[in-house]
């Protein structure tokens, strides 16, 4: 999928002296049978490229969970994607790491990737980090399918949710993309 690369929860990277894990593991209840850790994680540009993009709020990553489907050997995949900014906690407040790279380098345990549009992030490029990240990921899937000569289809389903905000109060829309790719 072009510049999208699998990343690991065990890999560390260094950006201008900032040593951080490539990606943390997240859990989701995608089957209705309880929370489970992600099966895979992909980052635009991989670990180093993705973390470099995060300095400007342009890091897009996706977390993937497999959903068993009766009669299917592959099942379906639930994907959560988001644009993120490398941010840090300083004096109890989230802010972009680029505001104080020296502090971030000396306190790597206080650095995080904040979803764009929320506290500690750049919010002008991607004010809706969840929906924007998902749209970019869907476009990458469509381009990869086209390059392989595969059939790609997308259906948008609008769902009603109690709140339209994720972690850190970052807004997201009520649309879910259902993607089908066949060879």
Query: What pLDDT was estimated at residue 94?
Result: 86
Residue 48: band (very low, low, confident or very high) from pLDDT cuts 50, 70, 90: confident
Query: What pLDDT was estimated at residue 140?
Result: 92
Domain positions in the chain are 4-182
**Residue 89 to residue 55: CA distance in whole angstroms:** 15
* Whether 96 contacts 86, CB under 8 Å: yes
Query: What pLDDT was estimated at residue 30?
Result: 83
Rounded to the nearest 10°, the torsion over CA 104, 106, 110, 113 is 40
Whether this prediction's pTM lies above 0.95 is answered by no
Q: What is the pLDDT of residues 7-19, one digit of tens each?
A: 877 776 665 555 6
Residue 167: band (very low, low, confident or very high) from pLDDT cuts 50, 70, 90: low
User: Taking residues 13-38, what's their average pLDDT?
Assistant: 76
Query: What pLDDT was estimated at residue 75?
Result: 87
Query: What pLDDT was estimated at residue 64?
Result: 93
**Residue 136 to residue 8: CA distance in whole angstroms:** 21
Query: What pLDDT was estimated at residue 26?
Result: 86
User: Taking residues 106-114, what's their average pLDDT?
Assistant: 80
Q: Which residue has the higher pLDDT, 167 or 81?
A: 81
pLDDT of 51 strictly over 90: no
* Whether 63 contacts 26, CB under 8 Å: yes
């Amino acid at each position: 999928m072009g510049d999208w690369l699998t990343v690991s929860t065990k890999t560390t990277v260094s950006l201008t002296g900032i040593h951080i894990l490539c990606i943390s593991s997240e859990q989701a209840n995608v089957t209705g049978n309880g929370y489970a850790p992600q099966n895979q994680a992909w980052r635009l540009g991989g670990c180093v490229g993705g973390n470099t993009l995060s300095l400007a709020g342009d890091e897009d990553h996706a977390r993937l969970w497999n959903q068993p489907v009766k009669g299917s050997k592959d099942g379906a995949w639930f994907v959560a994607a988001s644009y993120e900014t490398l941010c840090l906690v300083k004096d109890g407040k989230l802010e972009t790491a680029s505001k104080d790279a020296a502090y971030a380098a000396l306190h790597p345990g206080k650095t995080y990737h904040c979803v764009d549009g929320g506290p500690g992030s750049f919010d002008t490029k991607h004010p809706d980090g969840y929906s924007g990240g998902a749209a970019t990921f869907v476009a990458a899937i469509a381009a990869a399918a086209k390059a392989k000569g595969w059939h790609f289809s997308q259906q948008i389903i609008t769902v009603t949710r109690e709140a339209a905000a994720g972690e850190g109060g970052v807004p997201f829309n009520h649309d879910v993309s259902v993607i089908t790719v066949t060879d």
